[in-house]
Structure 1
């Protein structure tokens, strides 16, 4: 009966290992498993019961081990317990979302006059109810969620490094604000648990993948991603969340990576997948290869619903998508060699914010459509029916 005891012993160890890897392990082989969410949630939500059953089974099996084999059983127990303890510590005190990505330590906003951040830095800007705030885009790399409040409304600025997306959400469900903690990465996307129901929410889809409040979806908060200088040209009274002093070094390196002033060391073997600028209009998903979009800088496109104007900012750091419809007519656009944008119907001049600055349509503005700049693997994971623009 010694072999039964040994099998049970290693099953306890294996279950602990699988439980940790299912949510915490960003290995590509694990991220591609379509059923990973089901297995991870089942193990995390019932891990205490599994451990109790495992310990009871081990204790019962001890009585069936012959006396002469007790010493051999003990020899199996010691290394197995050491391995189990190591795995438990790894996935509960080191390689776990709440430790790897701790909550932001300081959240004090500064006005534009007191800003000490480079104006070329990418920011995520929000302006609900006319109150403008900007969050450096490098900050969510280290805090997958930055909770905040605007005019009494709780919001959450998020980021997932596996899919390179950073949407902003209203934290209220049925009028009650939720608080989230990071679980890990599943299917190339950050997964959060709310502290009220214990449900698991996907960062990309804004809805619970597992748990009680199924069918609820967090509301989007409109946001724009651009350089700080461009953002302050729009709402000059915007406030900015400064760098957390504890992360100034990592922030700076991440910014240099984004601007190609620094590179990853040669031993860093994980290559970044291709970026796309993605959008959903009238239920139809569309993606634009970022490298191709930068080479064209402006694209006129037509998907389900309105005709689209897709363009990059002058620095080609971020992109935006606009509805080409204006006063019942659809416009087409072109960019001249000097970077200026005009519509072909009236010859009016436009800026990269979708605002007409000269001639017949001066003062008019195109409607901004929510878009995301993210890795193609993250986009197609949740938008399998997406189409790609062919340049």
Structure 2
């Protein structure tokens, strides 16, 4: 086979640049990239990028030694410029748009108690309790870092948050008996993808499902958490330790100002009907025995308290007066389902016995005093993310439950 000298050069350039550009495009939220079912392509492409680049360099070196000198001055300038642009593209693909360099995990996680805390009390936090130890992770910090690998009560935890889909999740980082370190790979379907160190499996942050790799089909063990304001968390856990801001990332935290409290739809003055359902509308998501349901946040806050049933389980959804702290409980007590309303003091009161319960699910006065409602794990999430990862979900909007369909909602 007789090789054309120009083909040798351009094949080398393509191998140097194109695989990395495709990989960066698919793993970052560029227009159209996140709608493709391409996680397997991304996974294996990442493994062959460096070998392809080495082959590309061999082609370039071959060309330089055998053909470059025969080029005209103009041809030499063009090819040299193209090669320099190739080198520059590595900055884009391997740094500028590489998730683990854009969103760095803090290397110095500092915690403080309530007396020494510098985090505003109205910040939202992800709260975790284990073995009597409570820790709070502010969303604004966690949202930039995407993940924090920590210990709570001598138990390893992987605390995660993805701002593209508004998903907080806490997992055990122990896989098959071995504690793993995780790196942030990028995103698919607007959700963060993380990789464990040992098996190099890729996991969806929103579900803990292994999407591709050696452990494909397995699932990270989810650990319970709550999302509420720091003030509400301190009221329940006054001895909590609170993650403090890392000064290295002050500017990055500032980019998320008001993320934890203002819906995107509220910042768009062109939208007249704020009750419309958009991609980034907030919902409260609940899953009971495999059955998923989402509750429209705006309508839920107007109602404040909702008695419902999901998969034959009595369910209570509530949002506190601060408009940010939310809860879900199973209302079965001693085999009987209770129904709740708010009293004049904003406390929970069951209709069956008129007992009063606090926002931690504990009965404080009445015949049920001392009883505690069982917590149900609930999530605050963008509607587009919830319906993607839970395609069979039902949806509640203002006292009516609707089966989720493939309807297309206005992009936002």
How high is the TM-score relative to the length of structure 1? Answer: 0.88
Aligned to 2:130: 128
**CA shift for structure 1 position 319:** 1.6
| Inter-CA distance 57–70: structure 2 relative to 1 (3 Å threshold) | farther
**1:301 maps to what in 2?**
308
Distance 2:231 2:363 in 1: 20
1:17 aligns with 2:11: no
Q: CA deviation at 1:239?
A: 1.5
Cα offset, 1:76, TM superposition: 5.2
2:235 is aligned to 233
**Match among 189, 192, 199 for residue 190 of structure 1:** 192
SS at match of 1:254: coil
Secondary structure of 2:120's counterpart equals coil
Q: Measure the CA separation in 1 of the matches of 2:115 and 2:259.
A: 27
Shift of 1:278: 0.5
Q: 1:109 touches 1:239 (CA, 8 Å); kept in 2? A: yes
Question: CA offset at residue 220 of structure 1?
Answer: 1.4
Residue 170 to residue 63, structure 1, CA distance change in 2 (3 Å): same
List alignment gaps of at least 5 residues for structure 1: none
Give the drift of 1:3: 6.4
- Asked whether the equivalents of residues 124 and 134 of structure 1 are also in contact (C-alpha less than 8 Å), the reply is yes
CA apart distance, 1:88: 1.0
SS of residue in 1 equivalent to 2:88: helix
The answer as to 2:336 corresponding to 1:329 is yes
Q: Secondary structure at the match of 2:163?
A: coil
Q: Does 1:170 align with 2:172?
A: yes
Alpha-carbon contact 1:313-1:319 (below 8 Å) kept? yes
Question: Is the 2:140–2:259 contact (alpha carbons within 8 Å) kept by the matching residues of 1?
Answer: no
| Residue 66 of structure 1: how far off its partner (Å) | 12
Q: Does the alignment pair 1:348 with 2:355?
A: yes
| SS at 1:114 equivalent | coil
Quote the offset at 1:284 in angstroms.
Answer: 0.5
> 1 CA distance for matches of 2:318 and 2:324?
11
2:403 — aligned with what? none
Distance 1:51 1:66, change over 3 A: closer
Q: Is the Cα–Cα contact under 8 Å of residues 356 and 364 in structure 2 kept in the other structure?
A: yes
Q: CA deviation at 1:11?
A: 3.0
- The answer to whether residue 390 in structure 2 is matched with residue 383 in structure 1 is yes
Give 1:9 shift. Answer: 4.6
5+ long unaligned stretches in structure 2: 270-277, 399-412
After superposition, the CA RMSD in angstroms is: 2.9
Distance in 2, Cα, partners of 1:66 & 1:255: 54
Match 1:86 to one of 85, 88, 92: 88
Q: CA deviation at 1:8?
A: 2.3
Q: For the Cα contact (< 8 Å) 2:182–2:197, is it kept in 1?
A: yes
| Matched residue SS, 1:372 | strand
Structure-2 residue corresponding to 1:115: 117
Over 3 Å counting, the alpha-carbon distance change for 1:74 and 1:9 in structure 2 is farther
Task: Give the aligned partner of residue 41 of structure 1.
Answer: 43
Aligned-pair CA distance for 1:28: 4.2
- Contact 1:282–1:305 (Cα < 8 Å) also in 2: no
Question: Mean Cα displacement is larger for which, 145-154 or 172-181?
Answer: 145-154
- Name the CA distance, whole Å, in 2 between partners of 1:94 and 1:169: 28
Work out whether residues 318 and 373 of structure 1, in 8 Å CA contact, stay in contact via their aligned partners in 2. no
Question: Which SS does the other structure have where 1:373 is aligned?
Answer: strand
Alignment partners' CA distance in 1, 2:139 and 2:281: 19
Q: Distance in 2 between matches of 1:15 and 1:118?
A: 45
Distance 1:107 1:69, change over 3 A: closer
Alignment partner of 1:103 is 2:105 = yes
TM-score under structure 2 normalisation? 0.84
Cα deviation, 1:89-125, whole Å, max 9, x if unaligned, reads: 1121222122111221422222222223222221111
